[in-house]
A and B are shown apart, each in its own frame.
Chain A
Amino acid sequence: MVIRAPTPSGWITGSDRPGAFVTETRLVVLSGLLWLAMVVLAAAGHWLAGLYVLLALLLVYGVLGSSHKGRFDLKLVAFPTGVWIAMWAGAFWLGEYFAQAYAGSAPGFTVLGFHPSFAAIIALFWLLPTLLMGFGFEWVKDRWLSKERWDDYLESVNDPGSDEAPTGGEE
């Protein structure tokens, strides 16, 4: 397998970090392996394990999506994406735990009237992570794309003579 490194006369820019392309490629290969593991596990009947692998896959896409000129913004991955993924892991675990605990019988308790297994889904899969991601994204808006970075991008794109990446934005 050959991982093609960027060349100075190719698409690398003054602000690119050496090795960023290789890291990006390794992450993409890892995502492919996770896809394979996820589907194989589900096909073999281990669907819950497949769901946990899905969470790892989301993390990889989160890291790839945070890339800015070869830098991965791990703070942006940690919040809100990382917290969301942790909540989903908790939802799957609790959902399965209570589904098994009360299999074939009425549950010993309910949460706001819900079966405890589904209450975990309501709280940790749906309501809290949806609000967290919705408001969290607004919270990190400037880190995700500052006005300066966007303006620099527009300037660079519209300048036919420029071969440099925009330099704006924060790191």
Chain B
Amino acid sequence: MSETAKLLIALSSISVLVISFLIGLWARKKVTSPEAFFGGAKIFGPLTVGLATMAAVGSAFAVVGVPGLVFSTGNAILLFMFAAPAFVFGYLVIGKKIRAMAEIGTVASLGDLSDLRFNHHRGIKLMLSLMLFIGCAMYLSAQVEACAKLFENLFDWNQLVISVVIFTILIVYTVLSGEIGGILTQAFQGLVIVLAGLICTVAFFAVTGGFGPVLEAISGPRGAEAGLDPAALTAWGSLPGAFSFAWVMLPTLGIMCQPQVLTRMMMLRSPRDLPRLSLYAVITNMVTGLMVMSIGYCAIYLVASGTVTIDHPDKAVFKVADYLGLAAQLFVYPAVLAAALSTSSLFLSLAGNIVSRDLPGSLGLELAPERQVSISRIAMSVMGISAIGFAAVSGDMVAILGTYGFGTLAAATFPIFIIGLLWKGASSQGVMAGMLTALLATLVGVGIELSKRFGVTEFSWPGGVPWYVFVMAAAVLVTIAASLFTHGATGRDLDRRVRLAMDL
């Protein structure tokens, strides 16, 4: 690659960062109250929220990790990306209830929502805060790692310096504008991802001639020589079926309780905009799905035809972009950055909310709203710096933890927000027990996985099913079972307005 091309790619990527920063600065004007800073402003339309939701859900894992997995293991991971109808299902099932809760009181965080449903139960809020914090840490460090790899692929720059520069800018605009700036910058970053998706798809057809030649190439002698398996292009790919199961089940049940989705529902101007929001979210999600499939298939085609060699799956997206030429590079590299930034800003805000509002509240500490904003800003800065440090010292362990984030967050939020809002009999004791189960099981699951990684144990999960599926199931079962025999925040204890919201 020529130095001019590298410079142009760097400039296009940096422009995403600069525009995001400027949007953040502009959005600062809209932060008229502490509630608005934390996400309590119901001022956004469906297009903004739809783009922001898609961008925040589509982390760097989706743009870098998924094409790599398509290249190395085939179609199974695309089941995860293609589960877009689950977005709509989530809005259909709990959307209006969540949005209705935002009319009852100040709801600026998931902890506020939990307070309303479970009568300010401190234990639930504490468990939720801890689980969300763990999920935030996992996600954030993985995004730092992805950004560092992006520029490392272009220039021989120091990973730590790259991370510090990018995340300092991110931290500054997130700290200044809070969730208002967060949602606006995420909407812009979503647009960048969609543009890259359209360009990659067109480029894929131009290079390969369509999906047929990819199938022919992988089935040919060169495909076998390159170590590619033709079974990769069946419905379930070349991985054991348990992965297909997990990658259908996890987004289908998990997407509706992800913080990226829940918090955005509350920021919508009107709940009757939810259908339109879901339409924008799934259409943009479809473009992202098309992009990662095109890049993954293009990688297979190029390797199977002997045009390109790819030594690590995570490099597939960059190798393909480099082959496609400058036009694709100018959009793919910024799209990777946009995906990492959008997810990071959301989780930074979430971490700030937890430390300044939810955690003190769960411990019985009442802080003035202005003080909460200050503490939140400090917490975001510390969290961002910690994520950079953690990513720098722990190598590829970060990427592994990043993939666990989705399951961890789903296990934390499903009992509270799905069971809790669909069933008036979900008791505070039941949800508390479910959350405790999720927390302990997550720690055990991560511990076992890391032990396997370092050769301490050879334990394998039954049927090859990923550990977080068991964690989610255990949390749900314990919540339901314990709720059948306990009564907190049900019956007479259930707030009249909450009952109305659940009955909507």
Q: Do A and B bind each other?
A: yes
Q: Give chain A's interface residues, CB within 8 Å of chain B.
A: 1-4, 6-7, 9-11, 13, 16, 21, 24-25, 28-29, 31-32, 35-36, 38-39, 42-45, 47-48, 50-51, 54, 57-58, 61-62, 64-65, 67-70, 76, 80-81, 84, 88, 91, 95-96, 98-99, 102-104, 106-107, 110, 112-115, 117-118, 120-122, 125-127, 129-130, 132-138, 141, 144-145, 147, 149-150, 153-154, 156-157, 163, 165-166
* B235: A residues at CB distance < 8 A: 91, 95-96, 98-99, 115, 117-118, 120-121
Q: Interface centre among A31, A137, A138, A149, by most B CB within 10 Å? A: A137
Per DSSP, are chain A's interface residues mostly helix, strand or loop, or mixed? Answer: helix
Complex CA–CA separation, A144 to B211 (angstroms): 39
B25 CB-CB contact with A under 8 Å = no
| Smallest beta-carbon distance A97→chain B, Å | 9
* B82: A residues at CB distance < 8 A: 121-122, 125-126, 130
| Smallest beta-carbon distance B304→chain A, Å | 14
Per DSSP, are chain B's interface residues mostly helix, strand or loop, or mixed? Answer: helix
| Smallest beta-carbon distance B428→chain A, Å | 14
| With A13-B499, A121-B235, A157-B104: A113-B213 Cβ-Cβ less than 8 Å | yes
> Which residue of A81, A110, A165 contacts B89 across the interface (Cβ within 8 Å)?
A81
| Smallest beta-carbon distance A28→chain B, Å | 5
* A154: B residues at CB distance < 8 A: 103
Contact between A163 and B496, CB atoms less than 8 A apart: yes
Complex CA–CA separation, A1 to B235 (angstroms): 43
B348 CB-CB contact with A under 8 Å = no
Contact between A133 and B88, CB atoms less than 8 A apart: yes
**27 CB < 8 A contacts A-B:** A1-B484, A3-B484, A4-B491, A7-B491, A9-B492, A11-B491, A11-B494, A16-B503, A29-B480, A31-B476, A43-B461, A45-B242, A51-B249, A58-B89, A58-B253, A61-B422, A65-B92, A98-B235, A99-B231, A118-B233, A130-B84, A130-B286, A133-B85, A133-B282, A145-B272, A153-B103, A153-B500
Q: Interface centre among A25, A50, A104, by most B CB within 10 Å? A: A50
B241 CB-CB contact with A under 8 Å = yes
* B211: A residues at CB distance < 8 A: 110, 112-114
* A25: B residues at CB distance < 8 A: 423, 425, 484
Contact between A61 and B93, CB atoms less than 8 A apart: yes
| With A11-B499, A99-B234: A84-B79 Cβ-Cβ less than 8 Å | no
B279 CB-CB contact with A under 8 Å = yes
Complex CA–CA separation, A25 to B426 (angstroms): 9
Given contacts A35-B476, A121-B235, 6 further A-B contacts (CB under 8 A): A13-B503, A57-B253, A102-B234, A117-B236, A150-B271, A153-B504
Contact-size category for B:
35 or more
Enumerate the 6 nearest inter-chain pairs by beta-carbon distance, A residue then B residue, closest first.
Answer: A65-B93, A113-B212, A95-B235, A113-B211, A43-B462, A133-B88
Complex CA–CA separation, A62 to B250 (angstroms): 17
* A141: B residues at CB distance < 8 A: 272, 275
| Smallest beta-carbon distance A166→chain B, Å | 7
Contact between A32 and B491, CB atoms less than 8 A apart: no
| Smallest beta-carbon distance A95→chain B, Å | 3
| With A32-B480, A103-B231, A133-B89: A68-B462 Cβ-Cβ less than 8 Å | no
B465 CB-CB contact with A under 8 Å = yes
Contact between B503 and A134, CB atoms less than 8 A apart: no
Chain B residues 218-257 with CB under 8 Å of chain A are: 219, 230-231, 233-236, 241-242, 244-246, 248-249, 252-253
